[in-house]
Amino acid sequence: PEIWDYCKKHKFFGLNIPVEYGGLGFSALMNHKVIQKLASISSVLSSTVGVPNSLGPAELLMHYGTDEQKAEYLPRLADGRDVPCFALTGPFAGSDATSIPDYGIVCMGEWNGANVLGFRLTLNKRYITLAPVATLIGVAFRMYDPDGLLGDKKDIGISLALVPRDTPGLEIGRRHFPLNSPFQNGPIHGKDVFVPLSQLIGGEDYAGRGWQMLMECLSIGRSITLPSTASGGAKIGAIVTGAYARIRKQFGLSVGRFEGVEEALARIAGKAYAISALSQATAAAVARGENPAVPSTIAKYHCTEMAREVSRDVMDIHGGKGIILGPRNYAGRGWQATPIMITVEGANIMTRSLMIFGQGAILCHPWVMKEMKSAQLADPVERIDKFDDALFGHIGFAISNAVRSLWFGLTGAKFGAAPGDEYTRRFYRKLNRYSANLALMADTSMLLLGGKLKFKESLSGRLGD
């Protein structure tokens, strides 16, 4: 209760909600700094604050909500009158959100005493952070319109809605207990729960556009909440482990003087610095107004993996003090909870083998997305003209990369224009060489494998690395 009251008093649940709606109006970079600091004290606290300030549903409302939805919900989310959660994961669809079995059937029904157009929602969600205490639940589901009440389309697609906790038929299940970490987490169930169309995030115009909305806003959690939590945990791990290695003595020496411990301390320091730099860089990108879907995925994967390695070295140096749980053990619970951040927002094993290169090969390419979009244009003349422009641009890009890759390989990237002074210029040239190699390899892989590339997980994972 004290934590909740403190968070509400200081508007921690409204870090990124604009000031005009009662929030703090923090930038993504400021959000990162707050989450990082909180994570250095308690991962439970950082996740409690992080969820309302990432996926949601405030982030979704700010991007897509109607004026009425923003005016009604954002002030309540900012001051803590409403506690949000977002229900995406279910027993049969975790990382593969496009396969969610939860559905809503468009129909007429009663809402606040009036007969209105809406949908009957059947859902079965689990692992939903803040679900046990949430008062406003964002739900992802597939919408169907069998009677044509909205138009000719029967399968409208994935949609997002706001469902108040007290909606008849909605149930919050028994609370989960994730690896001895007591943050609020639990399942949500419901069968034939009637919700009006006015509760669709963005209104009726955004029905069926939920996948696009999720992909754009999931990058916030990957860019900020998880990397920042990893950064805060790694930094406090470096501080306390360095202090412990200094005061703990064996054979008349501080254990930090032994070379094996020095190695581990050096790894902790290096990884803490790298995590901090990467998490700050992606948060700054979001603060500049970018939507770094691929960099955020890279940041989430590498920051959480490095944080797991930091936690391992912290436990090794602390020895017995780290493994005997009790009120004076500040390391053990962190070690137990480390797999949580590896798992959420897309499990790392899947993130590496499917998402980083699988998405990056298209989203980071200067021509592939243009080719795909031009091929979908309705006007045949415009479609051919724009596709030809993109195709020939792609061919020229591939030839350029092949020439650059060969030249840099033969010369060791010792020549060519590059920024910086004489010392740093060689590193830019080396990066230029590697980027040409990777671009050529990416184009070659897509050319030879086409759609089969997404099934070549080992190749995709190595290219992602």
Alpha helices in 79-209 (DSSP H): none
Strand partners, 93: 90
Tell me whether residue 345 is one of the annotated catalytic residues. Answer: yes
- The contacts of residue 399 (CB under 8 Å, 6+ apart) are none
- The contacts of residue 247 (CB under 8 Å, 6+ apart) are 254
What are the b/e assignments for 167-190, b being 16+ CB within 10 Å? beebebeeebebeebebbbbbbeb
Amino acid making up residue 144: Y
- For residue 139, the SS3 value is strand
Is 299:227 a contact under the CB 8 Å cutoff? yes
Report which of 402, 406, 408, 374 is spatially closest to residue 388, judged by C-alpha positions. 374
- For residue 279 the two structure tokens come to 């998490």
Q: Are strands 84-87 and 103-111 parallel, antiparallel or unpaired?
A: unpaired
Amino acid making up residue 24: L
Separation CA 137–CA 195 (nearest Å): 12
Report which of 368, 464, 401 is spatially closest to residue 456, judged by C-alpha positions. 464
Report which of 152, 168, 148, 183 is spatially closest to residue 51, judged by C-alpha positions. 183
* Peptide bond preceding 57 in cis form (omega within 30 of 0): yes
* Helix pair angle (43-50, 226-247), 10° resolution: 170
Separation CA 420–CA 443 (nearest Å): 30
Residue bearing tokens 């480390």: 338
Q: Are strands 103-111 and 136-144 parallel, antiparallel or unpaired?
A: parallel
Give the active site residue among 345, 382, 422, 457: 345
Separation CA 303–CA 265 (nearest Å): 18
- For residue 50 the two structure tokens come to 């992080």
Catalytic residues: 345
